[in-house]
C-alpha cells in the first residue's frame, strides 16, 4: 500500500513540473490572432497618424463621403441626401451649415462649419 502512495505522489510531482514548464513556455510565446495568418500579418503595427497627415486623411474621407452622397453630381448636398449618404453629422447640423438657407450645402461649407467648431 505504501508503494502505491509513493508512486502516486511522485506522479503528481512529475505532472506538476511538466505543467509548470509548459506554462512557462506558453508565457514566453506571444499570443497571436488566430484569424490572421502570420505570413500576411505585419511584423509591427504602423505608427498612429497625427498632425497634418491625420487632418489630410480626415478631409479625404469626408470628401469621399460627400462625393458618394452627391448622387446628382451637383457639388451640393441637401439634408436628405446627406442623411441617405451616411453623413448623419451633416444632416443633424444642416441648418447651421446652410447659413444662407438655400437648402443645399457644398463641401467647402461643411469644411468651414467644422473649422468653426
* pLDDT reported for residue 49: 83
Q: Which residues on neighbouring strands pair with residue 105, listed in sequence order?
A: 77
Is residue 12 included in any domain, yes or no?
A: no
Is residue 20 included in any domain, yes or no?
A: no
Largest CA distance in the chain: 98
Is residue 14 included in any domain, yes or no?
A: no
Is residue 41 included in any domain, yes or no?
A: no
Is residue 63 included in any domain, yes or no?
A: yes
Q: Could you report the per-residue pLDDT of 78-117, keeping only the tens digit for each?
A: 999 999 999 999 999 999 999 999 999 999 999 999 999 8
| Domain assignment of residue 104, given as a range | 51-116
* pLDDT reported for residue 64: 94
User: Cα–Cα distance between 110 and 17 in angstroms, integer?
Assistant: 66
Q: What is the CATH number of the domain that holds 72?
A: 1.10.238.10
Q: Could you report the per-residue pLDDT of 32-79, keeping only the tens digit for each?
A: 667 777 777 777 777 788 888 899 999 999 999 999 999 999 999 999
Is residue 39 included in any domain, yes or no?
A: no
User: Cα–Cα distance between 5 and 18 in angstroms, integer?
Assistant: 20
Is residue 101 included in any domain, yes or no?
A: yes
Write phi, then psi, for 106 (nearest 5 degrees): -95, 170
Please check the confidence at residue 22 and state whether its pLDDT lies above 80.
Answer: no
How many domains is the chain partitioned into structurally? 1
Helix (H) or strand (E) holding 77: strand 76-77
Is residue 71 included in any domain, yes or no?
A: yes
Q: Closest Cα to residue 68, out of 49, 45, 84?
A: 84
Eight-state DSSP code of residue 84: H
Amino acid at each position: 500500500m505504501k508503494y502505491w502512495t509513493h508512486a502516486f505522489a511522485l506522479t503528481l510531482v512529475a505532472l506538476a513540473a511538466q505543467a509548470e514548464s509548459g506554462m512557462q513556455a506558453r508565457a514566453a510565446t506571444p499570443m497571436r490572432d488566430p484569424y490572421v495568418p502570420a505570413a500576411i500579418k505585419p511584423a509591427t503595427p504602423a505608427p498612429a497618424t497625427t498632425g497634418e497627415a491625420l487632418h489630410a486623411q480626415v478631409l479625404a474621407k469626408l470628401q469621399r463621403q460627400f462625393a458618394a452622397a452627391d448622387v446628382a453630381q451637383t457639388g451640393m448636398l441637401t439634408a436628405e441626401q446627406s442623411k441617405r449618404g451616411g453623413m448623419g453629422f451633416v444632416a443633424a447640423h444642416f441648418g447651421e451649415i446652410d447659413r444662407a438657407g438655400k437648402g443645399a450645402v457644398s463641401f467647402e461649407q461643411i469644411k468651414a462649419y467644422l473649422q468653426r467648431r
